[in-house]
Structure 1
Amino acid sequence: MKKAFFYLLLLAMPFYSYAQKDLSEDYKYTVSEPYQVYDAPRKHYFSDGNEILSVKPWKKKMILQKFDVEGLTLNSMKEYEDFPDNCMVEGIKQLQDKFYLFYSSWTGRDTQHEQLFYREINFESGTFVGDAVKLIDIDGKLAGTLASTSGVAAPFAFGFGVTDKFDFLTSLDESKILIQYRRKPEVKSDKNSYDIIGVEVYDLSLNKLWSREYTMPYTERRMNVEDFAVDSDGNGYLMAKVFHDDSNKDKKRRKDEEANYHMELFRLSKGVAEIEITKIDLGEKFINGISLFESVDGYMLCSGFYTNGLNNKLHNADGVYTFKITREGKLIDEKSYEIPLEILNQYVKNRTKKKNERKDKDGKAEFQNMKLRNLVVNGDGSLVLIGEQTFIVVHRSTRYTYVTYHNNDILVTKIDPEGNLAWMKKIPKRQVGKPKMGEVFDTSKTYQGGMSYSHFAANGNHYIVFLDNVKNIDLPLDKIPALHSDGHGGYLTAYKIDDATGAHSKGSILDTREVNDMELYQFNNDRIVKTAEDEFVIEFYKKKKEDVLVKVNILN
């Protein structure tokens, strides 16, 4: 039986919000009264402009909270405990005006079935709609990530489970959702094992449109899945990096000028048993990461960074590329845009500038460790690509080994509807963090804690929001940013970029160590929710088992 607890006494208490003098005239913030904290490994936030819905899965509980945006008051709080003991939350997705929580449940060794359930959330009431519905039932084990059943990161928890067994991709118009999974390989050797990937496509009411399991055409050793996507017609797409041998290396030797791999696009369609494959050929360019997006004109858009084939480090970037794939699998509108030397030489050491100038003569100057984070498809067909320098450093000594995560400069590129480069901007940032106690060491992850950034578009501008070091408030172009260390306070900083012209400005919104006589903690970009064209809200922890909401108004 469902247990819903209404904390009437708490809701009856008035919330008082008050503003403090801000660091920038372009922004004003308002802080709510504190309210009870509910822990969760990951928290989810949605807004309709008037209210905010937060969903906080914790152990066997699900906490649903509703907040009023205007007064920053808590309108309702409901706690559910009618989830199975082995429940592992897989994701929370919005499809137009519908909201769904997905969780998996393993039936045990005797029956060995992996099941995926969903529960619909009514945004207006802040409650689940009815009971859980079983969506997928698979005979056998799925691949995933080891995590604890108590919400504490493995391996320091007492109970374990496997999560991230399902991926959820939505179409541009949010009318379709593709759910993807991978069966756990029966053959342990990746040289001899072929992945079996399942694809199920549903409409926005979660009525199944089609499903199929595909055996990949290459072994695990010779193929890496780069990205998945679904279009508004319910077709699935998979972008794969295919290696030419079993080395699983981008280059066989350091001095090689030809890649040891190529890219292929797999098209997965209803009623078609075979995978339709398109080989991606960008000539002499090495593709550095590739992402799939549905464009407004009905094509699949592929985008990322490239190197010019002469560099030793393929995760660096000489420029940005885009191209389209027709529904028939034909590659069209291939474009590339080199990163100018003047962009590369902003916010770097003089020694680096001189090195870039020498390398630029041979076409070797590059932006190091770039990864595509966001692609914005505007209504007029123009694109805004946002990349970030992300990498890890492994520190070894005779006593111990540890890793640090680094999230540095951001590159924002605008491409107009005709495919021309409109503008390119470099945003300076230096962030470093270490895994917290209890976190799993994973060298494949470069984002951690309160680092990286959040992006949203409003009133014809792009806003890049992140925590920064106070020393960078008035940073000139010829200076290197001071390092921000994750978990040690920081200034909430916003860069505003005009979508039409690329003109940009910077504003420091608040100091997390001094907000209305409070110090705020646990900043995370996932906790930012846009509530209006000139407004966003962030939830912080203030200690003493209390959270607060901070509403930021954009004034100029």
Structure 2
Amino acid sequence: MLRRLCLLAGMLALWVTQGQDMPLEYTFGDKYKDRYKYSNLLSFSETVSADKILVRGYYSGLLVRPKGYLIERYNSDLQLVEEYNYKYKDGDFVHGFVANDQIYLLFLEYNSETLSYEYKVHQSPVGAYNFTVRSLLSLKADYVDAPVDKNYYNRSFKTGFSTTILSDPDSRVFAISILQSENKDLKHRLLVYNNRLERIMDSDFSSQSMEKNFAFEELAVSKDLSAVYLVGKAYFRQRRFKAEERKFQYELVRLHKSGIKTQVFDVPGKFSEAVKPLWRGNQLICAGFYADRKDNRYNGLEYLVLDPGDLSILQRTYNPFSQQFMLDKFGKETEKAIKNLVFKGAHFTADGSLLFNAEEYFMTESMQPNASGGRVKVQRFHHNDIVSVKLDPEGKLLWARNINKTEVTQGDGAYTSYSSYTKDGQTYFFVCLASEEPQLIGSERLIFKQGYSRNRNVFVIRLDAAGALSYEKIIDSDEARLPLMVSMPYVDLESDRLLFYAKQGSRKQLVSVEVH
């Protein structure tokens, strides 16, 4: 037995080590007092002078609605230069960014006098904070309770009015998808604006939506902004399905002044899941997962090369999950299914290989008693395992690893989940957990658990170019004191640096992590 345990320990040591040589350097900014205990970080941007702008929506009272927006400006030394309280509490915040040395906040409001929904832009020069408001778009519609579509998995198309906002990572453009239904009349409109708020596309998508309801999830844009590519789930309308059968298919939509083109990814026996459009030079690549039957489980990885003009598929590559990956995730329980994966990051290496990662994300609901003796529905958002993959330039699988993790939240998801950064073929995952160390499962796997303490530790998990895993606790809770919003960093590619916002109660600070 002793010999067997030593062998297992040796095998584990080869697979994962607690690294003490992470090429990382971290810096704490000064701590500052903050009067808004309850708030959400909405955007994290950079100005032309390299200052960082953070926008938070803050809350007070019994109703969980924003009472205003706090704008914070930090310099390159992580010092708080100024903050401005924008006391605006109407409408739903849908997008925010900094461009042209201006702060743009986009809200969706309902005008009860004109019986219409309005997209309004609140704009101010950085530092001056003299906001002006103008209407970007107005649409006649009846009022609905939740017009902004936020639910990733169970989209609802029965409200009469629903809208989704998508933006590219560099905030060059944003797209607005608007679905309106009144009796049997269905209208679907797609609009695209650049970061100067100029409308560059306005497309009627209604004919494509007669048989399917589209819920868009990802956006990519060409270098010259002449074409926008949207990927989403197309839910079939007026079809009957078996209880276990999927009711959608993933499709790619190309918006261009010449018209709209669509492409379906599925082929017999291969059904696409969680697809993300990516640019590798002038090549349009769609990477994601696939299932080999019409249910909700994933069986492997897909890699598609498309013509950016007509969307014809030039190359298809399918890779089933490896035995190592299944062992990482389930150990010897091989009958369990992989599902609910959401893209988080993607990076092409110098030789054209693709490194991407995704997270196991899902929502559960339950009823629990409230203070008045009644019962209230509670939603919990689960951010679990990390999946990391490397594909060669032809889309062939080099390795796939699963990092076991369990986190759940009822409110602000910024503290849960993770962020990633890739440099020199190595990917670093940043997680913020209350546990002191990961736990060993079944003598062969590690799991990073959320823990219950108010204080959080920052762990970095590294996958090297060969897929070997190591980890290190880089920031101890005794040192940091404030938990980091690890899922919403500002990523500075030029300096290989990530900036994290740390906040708890009435204290806040910035933390810089540099990758060497």
Quick check: 1:337 aligned with 2:340?
no
Question: Contact 1:63–1:77 at 8 Å: present in 2 too?
Answer: yes
CA distance in 2, matches of 1:101, 1:303: 31
CA distance in 2, matches of 1:459, 1:95: 30
Q: CA RMSD in A?
A: 3.8
Q: Deviations over 1:260-284 (max 9, x none)?
A: 6544433333253xx4333333320
What residue in structure 1 maps to residue 79 of structure 2?
A: 73
Q: Deviations over 1:4-40 (max 9, x none)?
A: xxxxxxxxxxxxxxxxxxx956345443332132543
Q: How does 1:509-524 map to 2 (within 5 A)?
A: 509-512=474-477, 514-515=478-479, 519-521=481-483, 523-524=484-485
Quick check: 1:185 aligned with 2:168?
no
What residue in structure 1 maps to residue 338 of structure 2?
A: 367
* Larger mean Cα displacement after TM superposition, 333-342 or 58-67: 58-67
Question: Contact 1:284–1:308 at 8 Å: present in 2 too?
Answer: yes
- TM-score w.r.t. the length of structure 1 is 0.71
Letter in 1 for 2:267: L
Q: Please state how far the C-alpha of 1:318 moved relative to its aligned partner.
A: 1.4
- Call closer, same or farther: CA 1:144–1:515 in 2, change over 3 Å: farther
Identity of aligned residues (%): 17
SS for the counterpart of 2:267 is coil
Question: Contact 1:99–1:121 at 8 Å: present in 2 too?
Answer: yes
Q: Deviations over 1:253-306 (max 9, x none)?
A: 55x7xx66544433333253xx43333333202323333x24134454322211
CA distance in 1, matches of 2:221, 2:124: 25
What residue in structure 2 maps to residue 505 of structure 1?
A: 470
- TM-score w.r.t. the length of structure 2 is 0.76
Specify every segment of 5 or more residues in structure 1 that has no aligned partner in the other structure, as ranges.
Answer: 1-22, 148-161, 360-364, 437-446
Q: How does 1:41-80 map to 2 (within 5 A)?
A: 41-47=40-46, 51-58=51-58, 59=66, 61-70=68-77, 72-80=78-86
- Call closer, same or farther: CA 1:278–1:422 in 2, change over 3 Å: same
Q: Please state how far the C-alpha of 1:323 moved relative to its aligned partner.
A: 1.1
Quick check: 1:269 aligned with 2:256?
yes
CA distance in 2, matches of 1:306, 1:409: 18
Q: Please state how far the C-alpha of 1:340 moved relative to its aligned partner.
A: 0.7
What residue in structure 2 maps to residue 547 of structure 1?
A: 508
Q: Please state how far the C-alpha of 1:307 moved relative to its aligned partner.
A: 1.9
Q: Deviations over 1:193-228 (max 9, x none)?
A: 63x2222223343322231332143458x5342435
SS for the counterpart of 1:465 is strand
Question: Contact 2:438–2:446 at 8 Å: present in 1 too?
Answer: no
SS for the counterpart of 1:551 is strand
SS for the counterpart of 1:217 is helix
What residue in structure 2 maps to residue 168 of structure 1?
A: 166
Q: Please state how far the C-alpha of 1:459 moved relative to its aligned partner.
A: 5.3
Quick check: 1:325 aligned with 2:306?
yes
CA distance in 2, matches of 1:244, 1:166: 19
CA distance in 1, matches of 2:497, 2:283: 33
SS for the counterpart of 1:42 is strand
- Call closer, same or farther: CA 1:142–1:166 in 2, change over 3 Å: farther
- Call closer, same or farther: CA 1:105–1:285 in 2, change over 3 Å: same
Q: Deviations over 1:240-262 (max 9, x none)?
A: 5455663575xx155x7xx6654
Letter in 1 for 2:263: T
What residue in structure 1 maps to residue 388 of structure 2?
A: 412
Q: Please state how far the C-alpha of 1:493 moved relative to its aligned partner.
A: 1.0
SS for the counterpart of 1:69 is coil
> 434, 456, 474: which one pairs with 1:490?
456
- Call closer, same or farther: CA 1:230–1:33 in 2, change over 3 Å: closer
> 495, 500, 504: which one pairs with 1:538?
500
Q: Please state how far the C-alpha of 1:45 moved relative to its aligned partner.
A: 1.8
CA distance in 1, matches of 2:26, 2:230: 42
CA distance in 1, matches of 2:99, 2:280: 18
> 409, 419, 426: which one pairs with 1:454?
419
Q: Deviations over 1:442-462 (max 9, x none)?
A: xxxxx9452211123345532
What residue in structure 1 maps to residue 31 of structure 2?
A: 34
Question: Contact 2:218–2:232 at 8 Å: present in 1 too?
Answer: no
Q: How does 1:121-136 map to 2 (within 5 A)?
A: 122=125, 125-128=126-129, 131-136=132-137
Quick check: 1:106 aligned with 2:87?
no
Letter in 2 for 1:56: R
CA distance in 1, matches of 2:143, 2:254: 22
- Call closer, same or farther: CA 1:145–1:234 in 2, change over 3 Å: farther
Q: Please state how far the C-alpha of 1:381 moved relative to its aligned partner.
A: 4.1
- Call closer, same or farther: CA 1:228–1:508 in 2, change over 3 Å: closer
Quick check: 1:231 aligned with 2:202?
no
Letter in 2 for 1:200: L
Q: How does 1:278-293 map to 2 (within 5 A)?
A: 278-291=263-276, 293=277
Specify every segment of 5 or more residues in structure 2 that has no aligned partner in the other structure, as ranges.
Answer: 1-18, 59-65, 149-159
Q: Please state how far the C-alpha of 1:320 moved relative to its aligned partner.
A: 0.9
What residue in structure 1 maps to residue 362 of structure 2?
A: 391
Question: Contact 1:315–1:370 at 8 Å: present in 2 too?
Answer: no
- Call closer, same or farther: CA 1:60–1:515 in 2, change over 3 Å: same
Quick check: 1:472 aligned with 2:437?
yes
